[in-house]
Amino acid sequence: MSAPEESPSALFQRALKIPAALADRLDAEGFTSIEEVAYVPLAEILEASGLDSEAVHELRRIARLYLLNVELGRED
């Protein structure tokens, strides 16, 4: 029997270390993966997250760093 799949909100909280409210908002706006957070058009994540441009750039940096670490086998 396999483990239950992690919800997008739980994934965002664990992987990106963001508050539950932000993770829930991203999930509610249709974001389902770290890749989407890292690479969707900037305007789309600005609108969905409710964050300012500086905070979104930081969130995307964290998401891209997480993906790089996964690729290198260094997932935290």
CA distances from 36 to 1, 2, 12, 15, 71 (A): 29, 25, 11, 13, 16
Domain CATH for 35: 1.10.150.20
The answer to whether position 41 is within a domain reads: yes
Domain range enclosing 30:
8-71
The answer to whether position 35 is within a domain reads: yes
The answer to whether position 26 is within a domain reads: yes
The answer to whether position 3 is within a domain reads: no
Render each residue's pLDDT in the chain as its tens digit; 76 residues: 545 689 999 999 999 999 999 999 999 999 999 999 999 999 999 998 889 999 999 999 999 999 999 999 886 5
The answer to whether position 1 is within a domain reads: no
The answer to whether position 33 is within a domain reads: yes
The answer to whether position 2 is within a domain reads: no
The answer to whether position 20 is within a domain reads: yes
pTM for this entry:
0.86
| pLDDT at 5 (0 to 100) | 87
